[in-house]
């Protein structure tokens, strides 16, 4: 496909750029505020599934002024109840691939992070919001309910009580408020999210791959387990991670003073 120009916009629903160990995926429906259609979801799924083994981190962002205004509501009216279930399940599969896949995901958020857009963002392991971002769950006002996993994922981030209030009242959180309650890990000046994402991606890509994998997969399990089960899971994961040759080399480098110490900045 030829490169896009100002007169010939790229019609792909998800744009992909790979630079070294970092893959940047951008939602590309800016004229629709990056509303998530089924076709966009399928394209995102394909992009993630086909990433080369050299990729160690994904940056998920969006073209235009909005990360995503949510589900493309034009696809709802003709759905039967059964089709609605299948639709949600298809989203779950893609979101699981992001949250519990091979590599960590950093999400860059600007403008609308609403409904399905917030459900998508909640799959990421690191969420960076710039000051233009605003967060909402307007399903109550639309006569619908969360269908992309938000009742689980967003509730785990901020608690079901806050999600209840957001959905009942239509409350919208600013980027700074979202940072304070846990919807975002960073709240930055407008336009600075991608630079921060690239800096963090380089840092994450430098970690041992097994450590990253353990952090992504074991921590959510441990959080759901009784204490005794969680401690057993932790001990097993620790033993597996530290047995990797890469881990042994890193520990030896630290002991031999060849590795940097933990510090601020």
Task: Tell me which residues are annotated as active site.
Answer: 119, 139
C-beta neighbour count of 15 within 10 angstroms: 17
**Residues sharing a CB contact under 8 Å with residue 190, sequence separation 6 or more, in sequence order:** 110, 130, 131, 132
Q: Give residues with Cβ within 8 angstroms of 166, minimum separation 6.
A: 136, 137, 173
Distance separating alpha carbons of residues 49 and 55, to the nearest angstrom: 12
Task: Tell me how far apart the alpha carbons of residues 13 and 27 are, in angstroms, rounded to a whole number.
Answer: 6
The interaxial angle of helices 209-224 and 245-255, nearest 10 deg, is 100
Is residue 150 within 8 Å of 213, Cβ to Cβ? Answer: no
DSSP letters spanning 190-204: TT-HHHHHHHHHHHH
Contact status, residue 55 vs residue 25, Cβ threshold 8 Å: no
For the chain, the residue count is 265
Helix (H) or strand (E) holding 134: strand 134-136
DSSP 81-111: HHHHHHHHHHHHHHHHHHHTSSS-EEEEE-S
């Amino acid at each position: 496909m030829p490169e896009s120009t100002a007169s010939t916009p790229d019609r792909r629903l998800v744009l992909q750029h790979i630079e070294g160990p970092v893959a940047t995926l951008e939602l590309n429906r800016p004229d629709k505020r990056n509303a998530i259609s089924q076709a966009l979801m399928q394209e995102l799924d394909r992009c993630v599934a086909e990433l080369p083994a050299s990729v160690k981190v994904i940056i998920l962002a969006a073209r235009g002024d909005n990360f995503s205004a949510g589900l493309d509501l034009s696809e709802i009216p003709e759905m039967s109840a059964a089709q609605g279930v299948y639709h949600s399940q298809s989203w779950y599969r893609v979101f699981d691939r992001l949250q519990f896949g091979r590599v960590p995901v950093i999400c860059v958020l600007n403008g609308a992070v609403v409904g399905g857009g917030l459900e998508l963002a909640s799959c990421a392991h690191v969420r960076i919001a710039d000051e233009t971002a605003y967060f909402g769950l307007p399903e109550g006002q639309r006569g619908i309910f969360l269908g992309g996993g938000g009742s689980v994922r967003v509730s785990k981030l901020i608690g079901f009580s806050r999600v209840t209030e957001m959905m009942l009242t239509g409350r919208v959180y600013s980027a700074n408020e979202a940072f304070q309650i846990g919807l975002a890990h960073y709240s930055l000046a407008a336009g600075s999210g991608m630079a921060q994402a690239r800096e963090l991606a380089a840092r994450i890509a430098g970690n041992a791959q097994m450590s990253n994998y353990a952090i992504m997969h074991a921590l959510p399990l441990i959080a759901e387990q009784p204490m005794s089960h969680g401690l057993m899971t932790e001990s097993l994961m620790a033993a597996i991670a530290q047995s990797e040759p890469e881990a042994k080399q890193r520990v030896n480098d630290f002991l031999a003073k060849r590795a940097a110490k933990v510090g601020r900045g």
